[in-house]
């Protein structure tokens, strides 16, 4: 049994969606707070002056005074096999896939490369304070075996899946409807629900799967309702045009996924930029979630996610880095770009809502908010410590910020990986620059 341990510092977490206004009722912020952890789970979170007297005399209190403790970041869309080609110069999405993504993914037929890449990738997530992610593998089953083995060894709550892709891509990355179905079924059997791991059925996007393959993906989704579905939709205008040509009978690109039974709870679609209101309403009614990927959408010139329309439709959203289309593993940098994308659409992302989306909002998008995402009692103790002084500029800016909201906003605009002072998984420290 792990001893009870407490962490003192400023504390931020959310009880619900703080919305777009200044209403702070869903926000819990304690300037001098205490997080109490026992056996890897949250026991209590609140004011230090209230909780310190309740601790047993022998309890260890770790002093993070002056730092900010919050739940670990949740990345709702990322590609681990694209780590090595992040920041690759190209044109827009379809050229970039051909020039960089597909060649990089080819190397994941090799188990050794997949294992070494998984180690680097998960180190990078920990270093950036991201404790849960929804992760694309490649078309090779071995890429997912390697990823899950490494995530299991680190006791991480991670979701991943083998890419399904049987057309409109290089020969060397193709599977078949039957082969993809069999590999996915075996991987689900082997990994889904093992430790803290979950499987995601992962058709890359409708363009690279035949009708027969999308049908088999839908069959898997029906056979395994607790398993995730993970794909891309409506990212780029040329992609949307191509999808319309390939599926002329569909009402829209999104409708292709609904037709094959792939719009449901625990289905997460990256981008969702070029949707119409009917699509947004279908997302909301089916319980599917959008992963908003601001750095990727700017880098690939894809477009601007419409926050107001998503809110109006009642869509569930989370934030994704989309590495390697995205340009950073870091959720603070992602928040900065998300804020600017919202601004370009005339929408203001408050710092409360930004940090909500990066934590509890992500957990809700994934349907995992009963386990992760905030400091409610019995939640898994995956949390991070933000330094608040990681650069001379941030340290200086914090002195002029008068309110917690001002501090958070400055952090979300100026922070990067240097802000992550420590990362804890189930109460164990896995990254530490503080001592
Ligand atoms: N659409 C289909 N595949 C991909 C991918 O690897 N990255 C991005 N950003 N979009 C995609
Ligand atoms: Zn992606």
- Within 8 A by CB and 6+ apart from 392, the residues are none
Mutate to test the pocket of ligand 1, among 96, 99, 101, 253 (most ligand atoms within 8 A of CB): 101
The whole-number pLDDT of residue 23 equals: 66
pLDDT digits (tens, 9 = 90+) for 204-227: 999 999 999 999 999 999 999 999
Closest among 334, 353, 245 to 296, alpha carbons compared: 334
Ligand 1 centroid to residue 29 C-alpha, Å? 37
User: Which pLDDT score, from 0 to 100, does residue 20 have?
Assistant: 77
Say which residue the tokens 């390939």 belong to: 246
Give the separation between CA 126 and CA 185, rounded to whole angstroms: 29
Query: Does ligand 1 come within 6 angstroms of the Cβ of 235?
Result: yes
Query: Please, what is the average pLDDT of the chain?
Result: 97
Strand order of the β-sheet with 41-47 is: 41-47, 27-38, 5-14, 60-71, 383-386, 420-425, 428-432
pLDDT in tens, 54-100: 999 989 999 999 999 999 999 999 999 999 999 999 999 999 999 99
Do residues 32 and 52 make contact, with C-beta atoms less than 8 angstroms apart?
no
Q: Report the separation in Å between the CA atom of 52 and the middle of ligand 2, taken as the mean of its atom positions.
A: 44
What are the start-end ranges of the E strands in 355-419?
383-386
Q: Is 352 helix (H, G, I), strand (E, B) or coil?
A: helix
Fold of the CATH domain 73-366? TIM Barrel (3.20.20)
28: helix, strand or coil: strand
Best residue among 204, 234, 295 to mutate for probing ligand 1's pocket (most ligand atoms within 8 Å of CB) is 204
Residues of the chain with CATH 3.20.20.140: 73-366
Say yes or no: CB of residue 33 within 6 Å of ligand 1: no
Distance 7 CA to ligand 2 centre (A): 36
Cα 86 to Cα 113: distance, rounded to the nearest angstrom: 17
**Atom 11 (ligand 1) nearest CA:** 232
pLDDT at position 3 over 90: no
pLDDT for 19 equals 86
Distance between CA 393 and CA 20 in Å, rounded? 28
State percent of the chain over pLDDT 90.
97
For residue 58, give every residue at least 6 positions away whose Cβ sits within 8 Å of its Cβ, in sequence order, or none.
Answer: none
Q: What is the number of other CB atoms lying within 10 angstroms of the CB of residue 89? A: 7
Closest ligand by atom to 233 CA: 1
Helix/strand/coil percent split, the chain, to 5: 45, 25, 35
Cα 222 to Cα 77: distance, rounded to the nearest angstrom: 22
Q: Which of 205, 240, 243 to mutate to test the pocket of ligand 1 (most atoms within 8 A of CB)?
A: 205
Placement of tokens 């310190």 in the chain: 52
Whether residue 322 has its Cβ less than 6 Å from ligand 1: yes
pLDDT value at position 396? 98
* Closest ligand 1 atom number to CA of residue 293: 9
Q: What is the pTM of this model?
A: 0.98
Distance CA 149, CA 140 (A): 15
Percent of the chain with pLDDT over 70: 99
Find the helix or strand (DSSP H, E) in which 261 lies: none
- The Cα angle at residue 352 between residues 348 and 353, in degrees rounded to 5: 55
Q: What is the pLDDT of residue 22?
A: 66
* pLDDT (0 to 100) of residue 435: 77
What is the per-residue pLDDT for 136?
98
Q: Cα of 432 to ligand 2 centre, how many Å?
A: 29
Domain with CATH 2.30.40.10 in the chain: 5-71+373-432
Can you tell me the distance from the alpha carbon of 93 to that of 262, in angstroms, rounded to the nearest whole number?
Answer: 23
Distance from CA of residue 185 to its chain's centroid? Answer: 24
**Per-residue model confidence as pLDDT tens digits over 99-142:** 999 999 999 999 999 999 999 999 999 999 999 999 999 999 99
Right CATH number for 5-71+373-432 from 3.30.565.10, 2.60.40.1250, 2.30.40.10, 3.90.1260.10? 2.30.40.10
pLDDT for 2:
65
Is pLDDT of 404 > 90?
A: yes
pLDDT tens column, 245-295: 999 999 999 999 999 999 999 999 999 999 999 999 999 999 999 999 999
Cα separation of the two ends of the chain: 25
Residue 169 beta carbon below 6 angstroms from any ligand 1 atom: no
pLDDT at position 24 over 80: no
Residue 232 bridge partners (DSSP) = 270
């Amino acid at each position: 049994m792990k001893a009870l341990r407490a962490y003192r510092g400023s504390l931020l977490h959310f009880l619900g969606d703080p919305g777009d206004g200044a209403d702070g009722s869903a926000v819990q912020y304690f300037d001098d707070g205490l997080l109490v952890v026992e056996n890897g789970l949250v026991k209590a979170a609140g004011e230090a002056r209230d909780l310190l007297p309740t601790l047993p005399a022998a309890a260890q209190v770790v002093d993070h005074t002056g730092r900010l403790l919050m739940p670990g970041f949740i990345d709702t869309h990322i590609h681990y096999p694209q780590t090595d080609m992040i920041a690759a110069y190209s044109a827009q999405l379809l050229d970039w896939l051909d020039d960089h993504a597909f060649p990089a993914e080819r190397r994941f037929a090799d188990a050794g490369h997949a294992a070494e890449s998984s180690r680097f990738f998960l180190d990078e997530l920990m270093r950036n304070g991201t404790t849960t992610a929804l992760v694309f593998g490649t078309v090779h089953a071995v890429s997912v075996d390697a990823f899950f083995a490494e995530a299991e060894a680190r006791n991480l709550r991670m979701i991943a899946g083998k890419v399904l892709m049987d057309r409109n891509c290089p020969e060397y990355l193709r599977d078949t409807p039957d082969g993809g179905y069999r590999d996915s079924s075996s991987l689900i059997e082997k990994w889904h629900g093992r430790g803290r791991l979950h499987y995601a059925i992962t058709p890359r996007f409708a363009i690279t799967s035949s009708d027969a393959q999308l049908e088999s993906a839908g069959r898997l989704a029906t056979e395994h309702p607790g398993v995730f579905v993970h794909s891309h939709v409506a990212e780029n205008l040329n992609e949307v045009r191509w999808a319309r040509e390939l599926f002329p009978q569909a009402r829209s690109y999104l409708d292709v996924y609904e037709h094959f039974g792939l719009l449901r709870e625990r289905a997460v679609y990256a981008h969702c930029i070029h949707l119409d209101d009917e699509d947004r309403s279908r997302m909301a009614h089916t319980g599917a979630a959008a992963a908003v990927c601001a750095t990727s959408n700017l880098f690939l010139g894809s477009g601007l996610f419409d926050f107001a329309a998503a809110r109006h439709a009642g869509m569930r959203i989370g934030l994704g880095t989309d590495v390697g289309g995205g340009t950073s593993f870091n959720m603070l940098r992602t928040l900065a770009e998300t804020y600017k994308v919202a601004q370009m659409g005339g929408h203001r992302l408050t710092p409360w809502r930004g940090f909500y989306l990066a934590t509890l909002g992500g957990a809700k998008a994934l349907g995992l908010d009963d386990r992760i995402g905030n400091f409610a009692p019995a939640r898994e103790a995956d949390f991070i410590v933000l330094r608040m002084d990681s650069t001379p500029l941030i340290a200086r800016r914090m002195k002029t910020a008068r309110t917690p909201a001002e501090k958070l906003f400055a952090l979300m605009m100026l922070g990067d990986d240097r802000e992550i002072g420590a990362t804890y998984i189930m109460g164990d420290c896995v990254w530490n620059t503080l001592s």
